[in-house]
Amino acid sequence: MTSLCQYRYNDSDLMKMKLKIWMEQDGSVAFAEGRRMLLEAVDRLGSLNAAAKELGMSYRAAWGKIKATEEALGLKLLDVTTGGKGGGGAKLTHEARELVSSYSKYVEKMSSIAEKEFKLMFKQK
């Protein structure tokens, strides 16, 4: 039998395996890659508004995703301060840091397993 991965989809790359992992609660997304990226941007920038802008989303959409995840998982994700002399800001809670870390490790582990299985099933070296 000819290996399926010998058939190239362009001149230089063999087929690649892609995997999307998300967490659901009652049929709705509770946490996924986009929310991980949003939390990491908040952590780096110190602001939900700045994080939303960096990711090309509205503040309202970003806040909605944070609130939906907090409700689904029963966690507080952000410590928020409102504007004033020094301006407002947001910091990740300890639980948010644990969530991001655990999710990232899980995705990495599952991707590694899936990649190995993909290579076995499709005879790719």
pLDDT tens-digit readout, 24-45: 999 999 999 999 999 999 999 9
pTM: 0.83
Helix, coil or strand: residue 80 = strand
Residue indicated by tokens 């948010």:
96
Distance CA 57, CA 9 (A): 33
- How large is the angle between the packed helices 33-45 and 94-121, nearest 10 degrees? 140
Asked whether residue 112 carries a pLDDT value surpassing 80, the answer given is yes
Q: Under the phi-then-psi rule, with left for phi > 0, alpha for psi from -120 to 50, and beta for the rest, what region is 102? A: alpha
Q: Cα–Cα–Cα angle for 64, 65, 69, nearest 5°?
A: 115
Residue indicated by tokens 């087929």:
15
- Domain with 64 in it: 4-121
Helix, coil or strand: residue 103 = helix
pLDDT tens-digit readout, 42-91: 999 999 999 999 999 999 999 999 999 999 999 999 999 887 666 779 99
Q: How many domains does the chain have?
A: 1
Residue 26 has phi, psi (to 5 degrees) of 55, 40
Distance CA 101, CA 103 (A): 6
